[in-house]
């Protein structure tokens, strides 16, 4: 089962209601739809952005299939904080979604966007749409016709749709609210050729007061007279998005790690970023951690940093003879051909990276993450010497998972091999395709060069041509194109000119660079200029998962890499 199966194969369907006004007309639609759907299937409610004082959430919950659900479980972030930290707001929305689904096990989740505010914030509709994309939830757009002619309603819909689709999700349909009786037919005529279904809903008062049952009943009756919920469900199914946003990828990575917890060792216990990341992971019960270092000093530093969960980790001092003695013995066995002596072994094990790697060898940990203060060589060398490569693997290579706004790609080799031979490039391509599959990406490989299918000549092109031939020979079922320039690999438009008729060009999602220099420059250039999230490097080809951090890694990068390592260990 791939990482995506947890959410998108097993989890419920969803609809996100977004409105530029988000007042009574939107509320009538949200209430009417949740009540109508609850009569057909097990339906629940999520409010990604909602004030803890508002009453709409309680009203919607009461009409759902889970009337006893705590409204605070359904809420993600307060509106006053939402756009000040978009990344955290989107993470909080996913957390609220997961809480609600875990507690209610629904067939359908109605996600209701932010409420009307007297403060105009142009970023809020984009944020609502981004959250819908994170949830792979199609959007039902509610636009009020009060004060608008049909042409103005259409222009409002078109403007909102551009924002919705630019965020990575899809428009399932449009509801025009606040309609007087004489307005419905002109609106329906105006939208009759629109490529999405459109419903017109009568203007009705709405009240979330506990005593306002009759008002809500009238609103519900008007809604069901104007909208057939089965038509909405059909539109939602047809518009189901197929994107994977960076926030969704990270959320699923953490959820996958948590579903089958593994133990990861962190050799750099004296580094603040490492213990901050550890605290985050331990607070959410995502992995078990062994932190190398003195427990008292690490906990004391954690207290200074305001961290409250580090005591959930296991701590391993490097002078613990009960662990060190069998470690020395095992290391001497593994390095016997190199003439390793106990004295040399103890000296080697004074290096935290080596010590941590041996915890993996002894079976005390399932994987290792290091490199925040050590070089890649210091992380990889012990792994190569004592964990060694998988059977059949000729080398270790480093790939990054590049999370773009609407999909995930793999870039390799960006970390290990300076100037790989044709044979090594072919193996890097196959390893990278396997990495892509393990994270739910159906690989289409591009062997990068300054030439596209013979457009340029030279020794570097010859090397990539031979690597492409070898990769096709070793993995005949793997979709692969090469040599190919990055633009022709990435863009269907460019591919139509430079690689006309090639089934892989323009659709590549596994990019194999011809050298470490090109790969490292390439991933960092894309990361910094496009805003893509880079997770990794994933060290490919080792018997056990050992992953390296950039020395410039942020806490979020460390969290992602530890979770990724845990997921690798599950496989």
pLDDT at residue 189, rounded to an integer: 93
Which of 354, 332, 334, 355 lies closest to 343 in space, CA to CA? 332
pLDDT at residue 251, rounded to an integer: 84
Alpha helices in 239-375 (DSSP H): 246-259, 272-283, 295-304, 321-334, 342-348, 352-361
pLDDT at residue 288, rounded to an integer: 97
pLDDT at residue 5, rounded to an integer: 39
Question: What tokens appear for 348 in the block?
Answer: 């080697």
Measured distance CA(316)–CA(373) in Å, rounded: 19
Q: Are residues 518 and 425 in contact, defined by beta-carbon separation less than 8 angstroms?
A: no
Measured distance CA(428)–CA(433) in Å, rounded: 9
pLDDT at residue 371, rounded to an integer: 86
Residue 337: exposure state from Cβ atoms within 10 A (0-12, 13-18, ≥19): exposed
Measured distance CA(269)–CA(292) in Å, rounded: 5
- Reported as a single tens digit per residue, the pLDDT across 102-120 is 999 999 999 999 998 888 7
The single-letter DSSP state of residue 532 is P
Which of 459, 455, 434 lies closest to 445 in space, CA to CA? 434
Residue 396: exposure state from Cβ atoms within 10 A (0-12, 13-18, ≥19): buried
Virtual torsion, Cα 386, 549, 270, 383, nearest 10 deg: 0
* Alpha carbons within 13 A on the beta-carbon side of 206: 25
**What pTM, to 2 d.p., does this model score?**
0.77
Q: Quick check: bond before 83 cis, omega within 30?
A: no
Question: What tokens appear for 88 in the block?
Answer: 């955290």
Could you list the mean pLDDT of each consecutive 10-residue stretch along the chain, which spans 571 residues? 40 92 89 95 96 94 95 94 88 91 95 89 91 94 93 96 93 94 92 94 87 88 93 92 83 89 94 94 95 94 94 93 92 89 91 93 94 81 88 89 91 94 96 90 96 92 96 96 96 95 96 96 93 88 90 88 93 78
pLDDT at residue 442, rounded to an integer: 93
């Amino acid at each position: 089962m791939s990482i995506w199966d947890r959410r998108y194969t097993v989890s419920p369907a969803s609809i996100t209601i977004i409105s530029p006004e988000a007042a009574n007309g939107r509320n009538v639609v949200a209430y009417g739809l949740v009540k109508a759907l609850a009569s057909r299937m097990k339906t629940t409610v999520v409010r990604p952005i909602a004030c803890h004082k508002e009453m709409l959430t309680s009203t919607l919950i009461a009409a759902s299939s889970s009337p006893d659900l705590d409204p605070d479980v359904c809420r993600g972030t307060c509106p006053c904080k939402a756009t000040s930290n978009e990344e955290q707001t989107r993470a909080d929305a996913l957390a609220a979604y997961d809480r609600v689904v875990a507690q209610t096990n629904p067939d359908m989740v109605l996600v209701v966007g932010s409420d009307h505010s007297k403060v105009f914030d142009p970023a809020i509709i984009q944020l609502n749409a981004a959250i819908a994309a994170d949830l792979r939830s199609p959007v039902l757009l509610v636009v009020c016709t009060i004060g608008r002619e049909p042409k103005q309603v259409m222009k409002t819909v078109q403007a909102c749709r551009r924002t919705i689709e630019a965020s990575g999700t899809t428009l399932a349909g449009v509801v025009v609210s606040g309609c007087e009786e004489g307005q419905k037919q002109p609106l329906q005529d105006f939208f009759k050729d629109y490529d999405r279904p459109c419903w017109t809903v009568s203007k009705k008062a709405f009240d979330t007061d506990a005593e306002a049952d009759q008002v809500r009943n009238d609103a519900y009756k008007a809604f069901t007279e104007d909208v057939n919920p089965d038509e909405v469900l059909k539109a939602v199914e047809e518009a189901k998005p197929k994107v994977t946003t960076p926030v969704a990828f990270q959320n699923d990575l953490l959820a996958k790690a948590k579903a089958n917890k593994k133990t990861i060792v962190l050799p750099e216990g004296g580094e603040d970023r490492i213990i901050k990341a550890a605290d985050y992971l331990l607070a959410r019960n995502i992995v078990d951690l062994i932190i190398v270092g003195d427990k008292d000093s690490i906990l004391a530093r954690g207290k200074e940093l305001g961290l409250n969960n580090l005591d959930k980790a296991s701590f391993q001092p490097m002078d613990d003879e009960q662990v060190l003695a069998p470690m020395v013995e095992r290391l001497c066995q593994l390095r016997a051909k190199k003439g390793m002596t106990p004295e040399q072994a103890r000296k080697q094990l004074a290096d935290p990276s080596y010590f941590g790697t041996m915890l993996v060898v002894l079976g005390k940990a399932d994987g290792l993450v290091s490199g925040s203060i050590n070089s890649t060589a210091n992380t990889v060398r012990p792994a190569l010497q004592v964990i060694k490569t998988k059977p059949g693997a000729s080398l270790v290579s480093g790939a990054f998972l590049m999370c773009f706004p609407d999909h995930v790609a793999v870039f390799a080799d960006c970390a290990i091999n300076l100037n790989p031979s044709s044979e090594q490039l072919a193996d890097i391509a196959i390893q990278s395709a396997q990495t892509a599959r393990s994270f739910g990406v159906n690989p289409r490989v591009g062997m990068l060069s300054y030439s596209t299918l013979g457009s340029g000549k030279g020794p570097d092109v010859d090397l990539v041509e031979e690597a492409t031939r070898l990769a096709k020979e070793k993995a005949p079922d793997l979709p692969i194109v090469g040599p190919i320039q990055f633009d022709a690999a990435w863009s269907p438009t460019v591919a139509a000119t430079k690689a006309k008729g090639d089934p892989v060009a323009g659709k590549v999602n596994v990019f194999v660079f011809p050298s470490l220099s090109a790969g490292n420059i390439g991933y960092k250039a894309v990361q910094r200029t496009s805003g893509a999230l880079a997770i990794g490097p994933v060290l490919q080809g080792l018997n056990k998962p050992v992953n390296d951090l950039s020395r410039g890694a942020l806490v979020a990068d460390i969290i992602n890499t530890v979770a990724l390592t845990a997921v690798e260990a599950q496989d």
